[in-house]
């Protein structure tokens, strides 16, 4: 399996607090992604990165920011968490940008916002 | 951005072949078709990918007709451990712009 580590694996926090999720890869892949997965919605892209300090928005980016200061790390931040952001968050990586470059996923972070 | 449509759920007995079809009428010329498998509490796992005709690996086969508006994932002789959600993915390609859309997936239940 691809070397992708997400931390923390579980987190419970309160509305209004900042939260940062970390994705670490050992594959030296250029592209990294953050998704959220909710019942009835499947996986939805939040943000992605195509290089160090190069990021862009996905389908559901409102309320989220990302940073990538090193190839191996991609951080997802909820500046002021809301209950609607309770979800399972997955990080993914890929070598290329085309749809012929499959993404490989981490095991997720389960985030609960009370 | 190609939208995909899959059955929401399927049931199968152990040992049978399972075929899951995905529709993607608006697939673009550059798009590949990718299938993922997901177990509870785990991330999606890449199964197979193809562009046209037929692709086979140790896990599954993927059939893509000439018009590429649909694709069929074939799982030979399923076992209980194949119970999972299967996602069909059609992505857009292009340097500097990347959009990927996962549909809602097909929940496969394998019955003893």
Q: Is A16 helix (H, G, I), strand (E, B) or coil?
A: coil
Residue B96: the pLDDT is: 41
Provide, as residue numbers in chain B, all residues whose Cβ is less than 8 Å from the Cβ of A1: 45
Residue B32 Cα, gap to closest chain A Cα (Å): 5
Residue B92 Cα, gap to closest chain A Cα (Å): 6
Asked if A98 and B30 come within 8 Å (Cβ–Cβ), the reply is yes
Strand pairing report for A42-51 and A19-25 = unpaired
Residue B98: the pLDDT is: 54
Provide, as residue numbers in chain B, all residues whose Cβ is less than 8 Å from the Cβ of A105: 43-45
Residue B93: the pLDDT is: 44
pLDDT one-digit tens code per residue, A73-104: 999 999 999 999 999 999 999 888 677 788 89
Listed as ranges, residues in chain A with pLDDT below 50 are none
Residue B2: the pLDDT is: 65
3-state secondary structure chain B: CCCCECCCEEEEECCCCEEEEEECCCCCCCCCEEEEEECCCCCCEEEEEECCEEEECCCCEEEECCCCCEEEEEECCCCHHHCEEEEEEECCCCCCCCCCCECCCEEEEEEC
Q: Is B63 on the interface with A (CB under 8 A)?
A: no
- Give the count of Cβ contacts less than 8 A between chain A and B: 71
Asked if A108 and B41 come within 8 Å (Cβ–Cβ), the reply is yes
In chain B, the percentage of residues whose pLDDT exceeds 90 is 70
One digit per residue, the tens of pLDDT, for chain B of length 112 reads 568 899 999 999 999 999 999 999 988 888 889 999 999 889 999 999 999 999 999 999 999 999 999 999 999 999 999 999 999 988 754 434 455 666 678 999 999 9
Sign of CA dihedral A48, A106, B4, B31: positive
């Amino acid at each position: 399996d691809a070397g992708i580590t997400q931390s923390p694996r579980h987190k419970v926090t309160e509305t209004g607090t900042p939260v940062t999720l970390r994705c670490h890869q050992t594959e030296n892949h250029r592209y990294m992604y953050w998704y959220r997965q909710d019942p009835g919605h499947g996986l939805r892209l939040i943000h992605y990165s195509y290089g160090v300090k190069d990021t862009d928005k996905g389908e559901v980016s409102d309320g989220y920011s990302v940073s990538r200061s090193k190839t191996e790390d991609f951080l997802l931040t909820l500046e002021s968490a809301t209950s609607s952001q309770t979800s399972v968050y997955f990080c993914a990586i890929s070598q290329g940008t085309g749809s012929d470059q499959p993404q490989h996923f981490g095991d997720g972070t389960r985030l609960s916002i009370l | 951005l190609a939208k995909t449509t899959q059955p929401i759920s399927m049931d199968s007995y152990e040992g049978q072949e399972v075929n899951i079809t995905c529709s993607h009428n608006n697939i673009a010329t550059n798009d590949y078709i990718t299938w993922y498998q997901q177990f509870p509490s785990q991330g999606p796992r890449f199964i197979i990918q193809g562009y046209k005709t037929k692709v086979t690996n140790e896990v599954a086969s993927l059939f893509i007709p000439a018009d590429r508006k649909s694709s069929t994932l074939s799982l030979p002789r399923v076992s209980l451990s194949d119970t999972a959600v299967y996602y069909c993915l059609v992505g857009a390609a292009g340097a500097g712009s990347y959009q990927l859309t996962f549909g809602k997936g097909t929940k496969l239940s394998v019955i003893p």
